[in-house]
Structure 1
Amino acid sequence: MRRYPSDITDEQWAVVREALPVPAWLEGRGGQPEGYCHRQMLDAVFYVTDNGIKWRALPADFPPWDRVYAYFRRWRDQGLAREFHDRLRGKVRESEGRSAEPTAAIIDSQSVKAAACVPAATRGYDGGKKINGRRRHVITDSLGLLLMVLVTAGNVTDRQAAYTLLPQLRSRFRKITLVWADGGYAGRLVSFARRTLQLTVQIVRRRDDMAGFVVLPRRWVVERTLGWLMRSRRLVRDFETLPASSETFIYFSLAMLMSRRLARRAVMPPAQQSRWTAAA
């Protein structure tokens, strides 16, 4: 019986279990079996992500908070959270009738306030948004699924972060040749990407005659993804000492969303599945 809205359902678990990284001890690479099952641990991490509580405030019916935090930390340090997220992303793309490997992407950023516990060395003032905190630089595919994320101090500009992100994007996703971006990425970055990375950065500009909120082509996809992140209370503000922890919570937040989407897809009648795939 489900205890909390963030708990993994049986339908979700059927999807999630196939995407879990293989433990090192099963492959003879050392270590020992977990003291708690993955489903219990993921339920606990999802609860923290969804509700934004302190680790020590985990309800008593979860495993001890220090064991859950050790699990989170291991998944952060060994890149397992990203691996888990990326496997789910491939499943979602295939369920929507797409290739697992994207060919185009959209880049944008989001500034959030930082809590008092965030060190001064990893926070900064975003003069455009008037926010003292951190900035999340993300690249998504054309469905809004996350491809890359980099959390920096708030004073790191879009172009500065893109010089780090785009080479990594090119090396990890060789089929991507086109990236849509807003005016903050215009300038030398465009020629750098074309000359050095063989990557076309196409600027989608907001016209001067536009007033109020306007849905801009392509850019709305990544902006929707940034909106998805704000559904998780742990991400409404940055509480993490390490930027890597912030990135890991982003992976877990979107893993929750994708696993629910895949679970709903699995129980759809075949006729409705066909209509959904055609619409995608």
Structure 2
Amino acid sequence: MSERKPYKTDVSDEQWALVEPVIAAWKAAHPSVSGHQGRYEMREIVNALLYQGRTGCQWELLPHDFPPPGAVKYYFYTWRDDGIDQTIHDLLRWQVREMARRKADPSLVVLDTQSVHAAAGVPAGSTGRDAAKKVPGRKRGLAVDVLGLVIAVVVVAASAHENAVGIALLDKVAADTDAVEKALVDQGFKNAVVAHGEKVGIEVEVVERNPAQTGFVPQAKRWVVERAYGILMLHRRLVRDYEHLPRSSESRVYWAMTAVILRRLTGATVPAWRTA
């Protein structure tokens, strides 16, 4: 890495050692026609992506001591399209689960959605209005395990029904692993999701809220997905949806969770924004 003053979002040597093999393998599989090895250090590209995710800055406002915005943008989109973002995330997630003495893939997941406002430049065709939450923008759907680690993510227009998100999440979970046997959902998901779960071999249980309870009351096992959304909100690029394509929004979630998982694996911490 070039000599510069480090940012708090930079990966440490220990963290980079966990990520580098995947990127090195990708580089080896995509050699330059001219044989050029590339002008920019891949570690600095990753540092720039994690910095942007945490701070929420625009491409052109990335600090000058990172590689040029055009180069960072190129790798973000290329890794998104090649699935490298999810590959890195999933390999690290498996390590966290193994550290917790669990199998690589879970048998139970929790599904939920979150609607966020879309930025002004986001194409109207990929956004909508969540009628229940009164939010114009996009809707994120997460499937997480009992540790709060992301198993699947889906981003659609906020106007999409919970059923559509739930079905898409179940499809992704079933495609990525055959270990998941059960999914917990809230009452926003209807019978269509339960029926689709049967088709893909996943039992879907609708967890009903106790009518005697008022206000926010965490529900057993389901609370982990709420915590996951709270963690994502610490990454300012995710507080509002700035991405033109929903797939880019999904990639932002993977990179944000990769940063979280790297800290868990190495015992590192990052001060909260309110820390003086």
Does the pair score TM above 0.5?
Answer: yes
Deviation for aligned residue 1:28: 7.1
The CA distance in 1 between the partners of 2:89 and 2:208, in whole Å, is 31
Are positions 1:17 and 2:20 aligned together?
yes
Percent of residue pairs identical: 37
Whether 1:44 and 2:48 are equivalent positions in the alignment is yes
Choose the corresponding residue for 2:139, options 104, 128, 135: 135
- State which drifts further: 71-80 or 31-40: 31-40
Q: Partner of 1:22: helix, strand, or coil?
A: helix
Partner of 1:193: 197
Residue 101 of structure 1 deviates from its aligned partner by 1.6
Is the 1:114–1:238 Cα contact (8 Å) retained in structure 2? yes
Once the two structures are TM-superposed, the CA of residue 188 in structure 1 deviates from its matched residue by: 3.1
In the TM superposition, what is the alpha-carbon distance from 1:14 to its structure 2 partner?
2.8
Distance 1:29 1:8, change over 3 A: closer
Amino acid at match of 2:53: T
Mapped partners of 1:83, 1:136: distance in 2? 20
3-state SS of paired residue (2:201):
coil
Which 5+ residue runs of structure 2 have no aligned equivalent? 269-276
* CA separation of 1:204 and 1:212: change in aligned 2, threshold 3 A: same
2:211 aligned residue (208, 221, 224)? 208
Question: Residue 10 of structure 2 is aligned with which of 7, 20, 25?
Answer: 7
The one-letter code sitting in structure 2 at the alignment partner of 1:172 is D
Match of 1:72 among 71, 76, 79: 76
Q: Give the Cα separation in 2 of the matches to 1:90 and 1:21.
A: 20
Aligned partners of 2:77 and 2:184: how far apart in 1? 33
- Kindly report which structure 2 residues correspond to 1:213-252, keeping only aligned pairs within 5 A, or say none: 213-252=216-255
Per-residue CA shift, 1:20-73, capped at 9, x if unaligned?
46124x247766533212211101111111100010111111111111111111
Q: SS state of the match for residue 149, structure 1? A: strand
Cα shift at 1:159: 0.6
Instruction: Select which of 159, 182, 185 maps to 2:186.
Output: 182
More displaced stretch, 11-20 vs 56-65: 11-20
CA contact (8 A) 1:44 1:62 kept: yes
TM-score (norm 2): 0.90
Taking the aligned partners of 1:251 and 1:62, their CA distance within structure 2 comes to 21
Large movers: runs of 4+ above 6 Å: none
Counterpart of 1:100 in structure 2: which amino acid?
Answer: A
SS in 2 for 1:168: helix
Q: In structure 1, how many angstroms separate the alpha carbons of the residues matched to 2:18 and 2:45?
A: 16
Query: In the alignment, which of 177, 196, 199 is matched to residue 173 of structure 1?
Result: 177
